[in-house]
A and B are shown apart, each in its own frame.
Chain A
């Protein structure tokens, strides 16, 4: 049997980082989209995920 937990890497990073929570979220989102950034493009989801992580809902 496999047990799943909801503890995401965001939560882990937030716990470990000394940055304010809002900046931790921003840094994590940047980290997630790093492959596009490195190839000089902006993924169309990046700003939407940031808005969502700041509490915006549809």
Chain B
């Protein structure tokens, strides 16, 4: 184990650029009951690139709006502030890291998995009558620490990727051996730095071990844990050596989804991933 790695990692996380101010202001306003819809629309529209990409996503088949969404103001009215907040988060996060050249790291597969996990988390939350938008955000961000590693510590991540492949073991186990921390810890630190909802950071931190999370956030971490497993199990990343990590059985039994509900989640996840990936990355 490389004992100095976590300290170096934390310093690098501190040095990461903050999210664009326009995005932070817009996300805060969309979460606040005190901000008018018009004010939210104005904040998003201040960043033309953010507005354009948000509109593109709003018009994607994933959101199923029967008529064209022509303005951010329309999007606020037609989709609601919480959904739009999720959309802005997705757009901003998808632009934050350039994975550059990290041997063994496939950015396209990474995004397919992130989006599949987000869609699956949302579908699970729907089945359980829980907060779908929060689940979507957590699913989308659960591996963001790995993206940060690819962008900022490509050497150690590449080493971990090679070892995980050679030994056919989960990458997060090797990350801990090589880096002294895994992508879940790193991702949670990044989400905290971005000042997203505290529940998101907890779900990211515990998505491999939801049984270790505090009760208040354990359910969200469990949803992400299951969504992550479903995304791998549906084989959506296009990786020949794809695998599903072991389930945290101490937590899994609390999921309370029937077989029919799981099958519906599978179907929705598989049918929605490709279109959403295209909307987020093109």
Q: Chain A interface (Cβ within 8 Å of chain B)?
A: 1-10, 12-13, 28-29, 31-36, 39, 41, 43-46, 48-49, 51-52, 56-58
Chain A hits for B274, CB < 8 A: 4, 6
Number of interface residues of B (CB under 8 A): 39
Interface string of B175-201 (1 = CB under 8 A from A): 000000000000000000000000000
**B1 at interface, CB cutoff 8 A:** no
Interface string of B262-281 (1 = CB under 8 A from A): 11111100000010011001
Bound CA span A41–B169, Å: 15
Shortest A52–chain B CB gap in Å is 5
Q: Is the CB of A48 within 8 A of B259?
A: yes
A32 with B107, Cβ < 8 A, contacts A4-B278, A4-B281, A45-B262 known: no
Q: Is the CB of A9 within 8 A of B247?
A: no
Partner of A43, one of B247, B278, B282: B247
A45 with B236, Cβ < 8 A, contacts A4-B274, A4-B278 known: no
**B246 at interface, CB cutoff 8 A:** yes
Residues 200-237 of B contacting A (Cβ, < 8 Å): 229-230, 232-236
In the complex, what residue of chain B is closest to A28 when comparing beta carbons?
B235
Bound CA span A57–B265, Å: 10
Q: Is the CB of B235 within 8 A of A32?
A: yes
Bound CA span A49–B35, Å: 44
Chain A hits for B252, CB < 8 A: 44
Chain B hits for A9, CB < 8 A: 235, 238-240, 242
Partner of A41, one of B107, B230, B246, B265: B246
Q: Is the CB of B247 within 8 A of A35?
A: no
Q: Is the CB of A48 within 8 A of B238?
A: no
In the complex, what residue of chain A is closest to B282 when comparing beta carbons?
A1
A43 with B242, Cβ < 8 A, contacts A33-B233, A58-B263 known: no
Chain B hits for A28, CB < 8 A: 235
Q: Is the CB of B247 within 8 A of A36?
A: yes
Shortest A43–chain B CB gap in Å is 5
Bound CA span A42–B164, Å: 21
Chain A hits for B260, CB < 8 A: 58
* 25 A-B pairs whose Cβ atoms sit less than 8 Å apart in the complex: A2-B111, A6-B274, A7-B238, A9-B238, A10-B235, A13-B240, A32-B244, A34-B168, A35-B169, A35-B243, A35-B244, A36-B244, A41-B249, A43-B247, A44-B252, A45-B262, A48-B263, A48-B266, A49-B234, A51-B263, A57-B263, A57-B264, A58-B261, A58-B266, A58-B267
Chain B hits for A5, CB < 8 A: 238
Q: Is the CB of A2 within 8 A of B246?
A: no
**B108 at interface, CB cutoff 8 A:** yes
Bound CA span A38–B282, Å: 39
